Amino acid sequence: MLYAMLAFFQDAGAGMAPGSLGQLGAGIGMGLAAIGAGIGIGQIGNGATQGIARQPEAAATIQTAAIILAALIEGVALFAVVVAIIYKFVA
């Protein structure tokens, strides 16, 4: 099965333009980074809304912490964006 897949990629790569695998890699990497950011920020939303539901008077503190954590996680996803952009324009 693995040999079949490798043979397929070998064959498919024979007629492809140079650098197009790099573009494909950039696209897939971007998609995965977006999924990762979505899951991470979703977890923050989960914790934040539960915290606010349990203790409404702490809502302001929880909201501030949630926004800051979301920005930090988005920073990680944007690392992947930058690398994908480099792949797209260099390869």
Partner 1 sequence: MILPNLFAMLQGGGAAAEAAHEAGETPDVAGMLMHHLLDSHEIEFELLGRGFVIHLPEWAPIHLGGLTIDLSPTKHVVFLMLAALLCLLVFVPVAGAIRRKGTDKAPGGIANAMEALVVYFRDEVVRRNIGHGADAYTPYILTLFFFILFMNLLGIVPFGATATGNFMVTGALAILTLVLVEVSGMVALGFNGYMKTIFYVPPGLHPVMAVVMLIILTPVEIMGKLAKPFALMVRLFANMMAGHTLVLSLLGMIFLFATIGPMRHGIAVASLAMVWPIMILEVFVAFLQAYIFAMLTSVFVGLIRHAH
Residues that bind partner 1 (CB under 8 A): 67-68, 71-72, 74-75, 78-79, 81-82
Comparing CB distances to partner 1, the nearer of 16 and 71 is 71
CB of 1 to partner 1, least distance (A): 39
CB of 11 to partner 1, least distance (A): 30
DSSP the chain: -HHHHHHHHHHHHHTSPTTHHHHHHHHHHHHHHHHHHHHHHHHHHHHHHHHHHH-GGGHHHHHHHHHHHHHHHHHHHHHHHHHHHHHHHH-
Which pair of structure tokens corresponds to residue 43? 């977890």
CB of 5 to partner 1, least distance (A): 33
Comparing CB distances to partner 1, the nearer of 9 and 79 is 79
Comparing CB distances to partner 1, the nearer of 58 and 71 is 71
Which pair of structure tokens corresponds to residue 48? 């934040």
